[in-house]
Amino acid sequence: MTEKAFECRMCGHCCQGEGGIVMTAHDRARLADHLGIGEDELVRRYSAERGGKLHLITGEDGYCVFFRDGCSVHPGRPAICRAWPYFRGNLIDEISWEMIQEYCPGVNPAAGHAEFVRQGKQYLRDEELLRYDPDVSPNALISDD
């Protein structure tokens, strides 16, 4: 049987830290809709601009403002959250894939890197997370090639 390359263990590590969660226009619309508020309010209350891109802010605990023992906006979360751990670096570089295993217990070492890449690209394709535009997409996302 093929090993599952990734299964989230809900540890919350990837929701900790400032500045990692970029929101595209599509992300803003989806998240505002999920929260039942306007995009202006979403941006004003929950984001900060860095390097020309909007990021979700963190709470006093250092976690994403929407983290409450898990993602409290799961159906509306941004593309970058949906794509983890299938980020560009982890797909193209086996060493990166090995390194993230300490940080993300959901990554299954037994599956091997090639299988991680295969399952990751399939997942990104299925979830429509591959349409990469360097002007608006988070750098961690890849294109479909």
By CB atoms closer than 10 A (0-12, 13-18, 19+), residue 111 is middle
24, 54, 83, 106: which one binds ligand SF4 (CB under 6 A): 106
The set of residues, in sequence order, having a beta carbon less than 8 Å from that of 133 and lying 6+ positions away, is none
In whole angstroms, the minimum distance from the beta carbon of 138 to ligand SF4 comes to 12
In whole angstroms, the minimum distance from the beta carbon of 72 to ligand SF4 comes to 7
Q: What share of the chain is helix, strand, coil (3-state, %, to 5)?
A: 45, 10, 45
Structure tokens at 58: 């963190």
Span 64-93, contacts to ligand SF4 by CB under 6 A:
64, 66-67, 71, 73, 77-78, 81, 84
Q: Does residue 5 belong to the site contacting ligand SF4 (CB under 6 A)?
A: no
What residues make contact with ligand SF4 under the rule CB under 6 A? Answer: 8-15, 21, 56, 64, 66-67, 71, 73, 77-78, 81, 84, 104-106
